[in-house]
A and B are shown apart, each in its own frame.
Chain A
Amino acid sequence: MAEGRQKAQVYKTVLNEHLKKFGAVYAFLLLIIINAISNENFLAINTMWNLLIQAFPIIITSLGMLFVISSGGIDVSVGSVMAVAGGMNAVIMNGIYPAFPRSIFLGIVMALVVSLMFGFFNGFMISVFNMQPIIVTLTTYIIARGLTQLIANGKILSFSNTPFNAVGVLRLPGNVPIQFIIEILFVLITAFVIKRMVFGYQVQAIGENPQAAKLCGIQTTKVQIMVYMISSFIAAIAGLLVSSRTSAADPTNLGALAEMDAIAAVAIGGTSMSGGKSRILTTVISAMIIQLITITINMNNIHYAYARIMKGLIIIIAVYIQQDKKR
């Protein structure tokens, strides 16, 4: 009997480990199956492309968030930085400020510069002045949103008939959306940086044990500033693409709550919220799960509020599964 119990114990541990690694994959497949059954059009390739287009901001911002959380921090300013990037580009493109020539190129450059400045501010305050990441990025969250509303003068900035409008809806041969290409690119770059570059190891080391990291000669200040700048940079790209696809930058709603989706994706993906080992693939799958929940709810004509409740429940279950149950 003791043997039976021991066997059961072994199975339980193996199952636990397995769920930890592949839980997100199963949840993803489950959602696909549910949708395929309830909606015959779901498995069409176009639905897939749409999923990848809609999940775009979550997927790429979750990769930026992955760096931040792995380093032991958190960045709640992502959504506001998306807005400031989209807004900055729109005002320059629309020639609202006479000081700047009307130029798409300049618009994009300024959007990136301003976003990187917010990222630098986050990283600088956190690493140099030792401030709590959640507090610092919360202030950036407020300031960046405020700045966007200020430059847009409170109005939705729409634009049409510019080459910029074409970017967000661009389809490559085979009807492949541009978003898909960018997603693949970002995932590959992230994987390379985390698995093969010194910087990736250092980010995870700082998240695991900041004191030891310092004693290993890692320049923690530099690495932390970089991490927050990466997060803001990616947020800016997301903001620009979303505004391009919708032909507008809405200072109030662009990127609203995007940081929550990004954090949720990283959490469901199994990266420890206190920092350390970065899980890339499961993070991406989790980002798609989050979008799939919304799609599932929409396609079945259920009120959107349910999507939020579902997301919340899934996060809590996922984090429970990922927990170290050593005892």
Chain B
Amino acid sequence: MDNNLLLEMKQIDKHFTGVHALDQVDFAVRKGEIHALMGENGAGKSTLVKVLTGLYGKDSGQIIFDGEERSFPTPQDSQNAGISTIYQEINLIPHLSVAENIFIGREPKNVFGIDWKAVRSQARQLLLDNGIDIDVTQDLATYSTAIQQMVAITRAISQNAKLLIMDEPTSSLAEDEIQVMFEKMRELVAKGMSIIFISHKLDEVYTICDRATILKDGKLVGSYDIDKISRLEMVSKMIGRDASNVLKRSVGEYEAKEGTAALLHTKDIDNRVKLHGISIDIRPGEIVGVAGLLGAGKTEFAKVVFGCDNTYTGEIEVEGKPIRMNTPKGAIDLGFAYCSEDRKVEGIFPHMSVKENMTITALSRISKFGVVDTRKQKEIVDKYIDSIRIKTPSPDQLICNLSGGNQQKVLLGRWLSMDPKLIILDEPTRGIDVGAKAEIEALIKQFSENGISVLYISSELEELIRNCYRVVVIRDGMNSGELTGEDITEANIMNYIAKNMKETEEAHG
């Protein structure tokens, strides 16, 4: 069996200043298998991958790839050896054309330099082979995330990769797009390629993977055949405690808040681009879920409510008073808070400390004549590091050194310190491991108990079902249905999405 291994990493050790990121980790991938790399955030998955791809150097250990001991001082070296990576955030260049993105750095040449005709025709052929028919001369940015993802895969395949690493490739894809990707993955594996698949979604891992390696706190927990380990076992190995109550559903806790006046009332919100008439009411302390496919207008609606898009038409009332939402500052002054789906681009200040990141919005409240009261600032930070259990060596640690789950908690702390009336959470558990996910969901419950309303946007139906009192389903920028209490089920939500799809098809047909 040993000569069937494509990759063997032995006793890999890696330190960062003050952190033992990888502690004697062994990891092996067989030829032609899809191997899941699992673990909570901060377990060392990405560090291991980065050591493999040459982004980080290892302190000690051995890498055997394709039968030879190798070292990859730079990402270029690992690529040349046949290792391709597709990151969660697509690492392509948005303002180059699709064709240029596929061939960048290895363009076919003719006597005049780059042979653009060949670039275009070959790119087009490669994409067609993958079942994608698009104009390759357009900027990559003009296409949807799903298409961009497929372009990234096409690029990787065309490099004759022996090993493909996929770091949460499905996090921004819709269900049918994920299925297409899975099919593609099975094809590649059938041709003898190996895939390392990093995902937080157990369903996906159980659908597509052959084996799984679990890491925890930089150490190897073990490698398992997928069909020999139950989901519950896997989760408890990842978080190192009994997982039976982590994933428990709590349908019984739903509470109707009928009768109380709405905190936020929106009617016929329309921005003529993605929103074509959405109406949602939220009562104090209510958790209202928003479900819908990618591109249905969930995030766009949140942005209107938070004052980021003042081109909208429609009614917004807060506590019964009609209000025009113009700026985020205005929304914050009304007691609104917004955790964006894109932590990196719209959330954190990467090279600022946990303390600064958490208190940036609260500063004007804890200052006199523009001078910050550092004692109060420290109080806030200590309070939330403690109460929402943020794992950080110190409040002065740069936030970019924290795991995704802890970054998200810092951002929650940022908004909690404002005593908000309404928190808009846009995909609050995206890119976060199971353990932290459960903690964040528990926090959201607490918000509601403390009278804070929550607008919960998620593409994970399970999450909405577990946490929401009421779920509004939207489709193509319009309300398509609403479910409460026991009626909130996956089937019902799907139904609302699907029923409307049929109607639209008929209307168009």
Interface set of A (CB-CB < 8 Å, partner B)? 2, 5-6, 9-10, 13, 17, 196-199, 201-202, 204-205, 208-209, 211-219, 272, 276-277, 326-327
A85 to chain B minimum Cβ distance, whole angstroms, is: 26
Q: Are B372 and A201 in touch, CB under 8 angstroms?
A: yes
A215 to B302, CA, bound (A): 12
Q: In the docked arrangement, what's the CA distance between A209 and B360, Å? A: 12
- B57 to chain A: which residues have CB within 8 Å? 9, 327
- The reply to whether B351 and A198 contact each other, CB–CB distance below 8 Å, is no
B352 near A327: Cβ-Cβ < 8 Å: no
Q: Given A197-B372, A205-B352, A217-B328, A211 and B360 touching (CB < 8 A)?
A: no
* Chain A residue nearest to B332 in the complex (CB): A217
Q: List 28 A-B contacts (CB under 8 A).
A: A5-B60, A6-B15, A6-B59, A9-B57, A196-B371, A196-B374, A197-B371, A198-B364, A198-B367, A198-B370, A202-B360, A205-B349, A208-B349, A209-B346, A209-B350, A211-B345, A211-B346, A212-B347, A212-B349, A214-B328, A215-B338, A215-B347, A216-B361, A216-B414, A217-B333, A219-B329, A276-B349, A327-B57
Secondary structure type dominating chain B contacts: loop
Question: Assuming the A-B contacts A196-B371, A198-B363, A277-B352, are A212 and B17 also in contact, with contact meaning beta carbons closer than 8 angstroms in the complex?
Answer: no
Please, how many angstroms separate the alpha-carbon atoms of A2 and B345 in the complex?
Answer: 39
Q: In the assembled complex, which residues on chain B have CB atoms less than 8 Å from the CB atom of A212? A: 340, 345-349
Q: Please, how many angstroms separate the alpha-carbon atoms of A327 and B53 in the complex?
A: 11
Q: In the complex the two chains form, is B352's CB within 8 Å of A208's CB? A: yes
Q: Do the beta carbons of B349 and A327 come within 8 Å of each other?
A: no
A residues in contact with B346, CB < 8 Å: 209, 211-212, 215
Give Cα distance in the complex from A205 to B414, angstroms: 14
Q: A240–B135 Cα gap in the complex (Å)?
A: 60
Q: Report chain A residues within 8 Å CB of B345.
A: 209, 211-212
Docked-complex contact A201 and B363, CB < 8 angstroms: yes
Chain A nearest CB, measured from B14 CB (Å): 10
Distance A277 CA – B398 CA, assembled complex (angstroms):
11
**Bound state CA distance, A209 and B327, in angstroms?**
17
Q: Which 9 A-B pairs have the closest CB atoms?
A: A217-B332, A208-B349, A217-B329, A2-B60, A198-B363, A216-B361, A6-B59, A197-B370, A198-B367
The docked-state distance in angstroms from the alpha carbon of A250 to that of B374 is 46
What residue of chain B has the Cβ atom nearest to residue A275's Cβ?
A: B351
For residue A211, which residue of chain B has the nearest CB?
Answer: B346
Interface residues of B (CB under 8 A from A): 15, 17, 55-57, 59-60, 74, 306, 308, 327-329, 331-333, 338, 340, 345-352, 356, 360-361, 363-364, 367, 370-372, 374, 414
Interface centre among B349, B350, B370 (most CB of A within 10 A): B349
Q: Is the CB of A217 within 8 A of B361?
A: yes
Main secondary structure of the interface of A (DSSP, over half): helix
Instruction: Indicate if the CB atoms of A215 and B308 lie closer than 8 Å.
Output: yes
Contact B332 A9 (CB under 8 A): no
Please tell me if the beta carbons of B340 and A215 are within 8 angstroms of each other in the complex: yes
Contact of A216 among B15, B56, B74, B328 (CB under 8 A): B328
Q: Is the CB of B352 within 8 A of A204?
A: yes
Q: Which of A2, A208, A215: most chain B CB closer than 10 A? A: A215
> Complex Cα distance A211/B341, Å?
13
Give which listed residue, A13, A202, A204, contacts B17 with CB less than 8 A.
A13
A197-B371, A198-B372, A215-B340 are known; give 14 further A-B pairs, CB within 8 A.
A197-B367, A198-B370, A199-B370, A205-B352, A208-B350, A211-B345, A213-B349, A214-B328, A215-B306, A215-B308, A216-B414, A217-B332, A276-B351, A277-B352
Contact (A276, B59) CB under 8 Å given A215-B306, A215-B340: no
What chain A residues lie within 8 Å of B350 (beta carbons)?
208-209
Contacts of B55 in A (CB 8 A): 327
A13–B372 Cα gap in the complex (Å)?
34
Q: Closest CB of chain A to B332's CB: distance in Å?
A: 4
- Say whether, besides A215-B328, A219-B329, A209 and B17 are in contact (CB < 8 Å): no
A327:B372 contact, CB within 8 angstroms:
no
Question: A53–B338 Cα gap in the complex (Å)?
Answer: 50
Give Cα A198 to B369, complex, Å: 9
Question: A260 to chain B: closest CB distance in Å?
Answer: 26
In the complex, what residues of A have CB within 8 A of residue B17's CB? Answer: 13, 17
Residue of A nearest to B345 (CB): A211
A214 to B361, CA, bound (A): 10
Q: Chain A residues with Cβ under 8 A from B367's Cβ?
A: 197-198
List the B side residues contacting A201 at CB < 8 Å: 356, 360, 363, 372
CB distance from A81 to the nearest CB of B (A): 25
Q: Are B352 and A218 in contact (CB under 8 A)?
A: no
A276 and B60 contact, CB distance less than 8 A: no
**Contact partners of B74 in chain A: CB under 8 A:** 327
Give the residues in chain B near A10, CB-CB below 8 Å.
Answer: 15
B373 to chain A, nearest CB (A): 9
Q: Which residues of A contact B327 (CB under 8 A)?
A: 217, 219
Q: How far is the CA of A183 from the CA of B505 in the complex (A)?
A: 72
**Least Cβ–Cβ distance between B73 and chain A, in angstroms:** 9
Residues of B within 8 A of A276 (CB): 349, 351-352
Residues of A within 8 A of B329 (CB): 217-219
Provide the residues of chain B in CB contact with A209, threshold 8 Å.
Answer: 345-346, 348-350
Question: Roughly how many angstroms separate A149 CA and B356 CA in the complex, as a whole number?
Answer: 46
**Would you give the shortest CB distance from B79 to chain A, in whole angstroms?**
14
Contact A208 B60 (CB under 8 A): no
Is B56 in contact with A327, judged by CB distance below 8 angstroms?
A: yes
Query: Measured between alpha carbons, how far is A51 from B367 in the docked complex, in Å?
Result: 39
- The reply to whether B370 and A205 contact each other, CB–CB distance below 8 Å, is no
Q: Quote the shortest CB–CB distance from A279 to chain B (angstroms).
A: 12
Q: Which residue of A lies closest to B343 (CB)?
A: A212
Contact of A277 among B59, B328, B351, B414 (CB under 8 A): B351
Cα-based distance from A46 to B69 in the complex (angstroms): 65
B residues in contact with A198, CB < 8 Å:
363-364, 367, 370-372
Task: Tell me, rounded to whole Å, the shortest Cβ–Cβ distance linking B448 to chain A.
Answer: 23
Chain B residue contacts of A217, Cβ below 8 A = 327-329, 331-333, 361
Chain A residues near B414: list those with CB within 8 A.
Answer: 216
